[in-house]
Amino acid sequence: MKTTLSNRTKVKRLSDRGHYDRETIHAILDEALVCHVGFVVDGQPYVIPTGFARIGDDLFIHGSSASRMLRNLATGVDVCITVTLIDGLVLARSAFHHSINYRSVVIVGKAKLVEDAHEKSKLLEAFTEHMIPGRWAEVRWPTELELKATSVLKLPIEEASAKIRRGDPKDDEEDYVMDVWAGVLPLYMKTGHPVPDKKLQDGLEVPGYVSEYRRNAF
C-alpha cells in the first residue's frame, strides 16, 4: 500500500530513488532514532531534532508541555518531519561525483495533540521500546504528574516519501581509467560496552537487551 503522492513529497531530483510504499517508509522510521521537525512560527523557520516512535500509520513525537515546538505544532501549523540513515561514503574518481549512500523519509502534514492520559502512557511505552526494546517492563512507569508535564503529538504518515541511494560511484566514462581507488566505505552504528551508573545497586547484571543491542537492519 502506498502513501498519498503530492507535489510536496514527490521526489523530483533523481526521481528513480523515490519510494512511496509504506513498507519501505516504515522500515526506515523503525530503524532511526532521531527525526528533525521543521515548522514556521511568525515567519521564522525552525528545525528541531527529537526522538519519535511509529505505531501503525502514525508517527508520534513528545516532550515537555512547555515546549515551544510542541505548543505551536498543536495549533495545527504545517510540519515537515525528516529522518535520514547513513549507510556509506561513496568515493568516486572525481571530487564532483563523491556521494553518500543513504535512506531517508520526508513526512508533511498537521499534527494533533494526544490528550487521553491512558493513550499517552501507552505512547510513552512506544517511545521507550523504539529506543531499546525490552526496557519498558523493567522501569518505573510515568506518574500522573509526569504525564501532565508531557505533550505527545500524532502525525499521520500519509503524505510521505522515501529516497534511497545505494551502490557504486557514478563517474564520468572517461574517468574510469584513472589510477584512483573508488568504491563505498560502509558506515554502521556500533554499540560500545555498557557503562554502569555510578549509583547502580551492587550485583545488578547488564540486561541482555542492553548487552546484545543492535540497531542496523543489516
Mean pLDDT rounded to a whole number for the chain: 93
Query: What pLDDT was estimated at residue 12?
Result: 83
Tell me which CATH homologous superfamily contains domain 15-86+101-167: Electron Transport, Fmn-binding Protein; Chain A (2.30.110.10)
Query: pLDDT tens for residues 72-93?
Result: 999 999 999 999 999 999 999 9
Q: What is the C-alpha to C-alpha distance for residues 27 and 60, in angstroms, rounded to an integer?
A: 16
Percent of the chain at pLDDT above 90? Answer: 82
Query: What pLDDT was estimated at residue 218?
Result: 41
Question: Does the pLDDT at position 1 exceed 80?
Answer: no
Residue 159, beta-bridge partner list: 108
Question: Does the pLDDT at position 129 exceed 60?
Answer: yes
Query: What pLDDT was estimated at residue 216?
Result: 66
Percent of the chain at pLDDT above 70? Answer: 99
Query: What pLDDT was estimated at residue 31?
Result: 95
Highest mean predicted confidence (pLDDT) among 17-21, 34-38, 119-123: 34-38
State pTM to two decimals. Answer: 0.90
Q: What is the C-alpha to C-alpha distance for residues 31 and 216, in angstroms, rounded to an integer?
A: 7
Q: What is the C-alpha to C-alpha distance for residues 92 and 171, in angstroms, rounded to an integer?
A: 6
Question: Does the pLDDT at position 209 exceed 90?
Answer: yes
Region 38-62 average pLDDT = 95
With CA atoms as reference, report the closest residue to 63 among 54, 47, 51. Answer: 51
Query: pLDDT tens for residues 149-203?
Result: 999 999 999 999 999 999 999 999 999 999 999 999 999 888 999 999 999 999 9
Query: pLDDT tens for residues 18-36?
Result: 899 999 999 999 999 999 9
Question: Does the pLDDT at position 217 exceed 60?
Answer: no
Region 107-120 average pLDDT = 93
Query: What pLDDT was estimated at residue 111?
Result: 96
Q: What is the C-alpha to C-alpha distance for residues 195 and 119, in angstroms, rounded to an integer?
A: 33
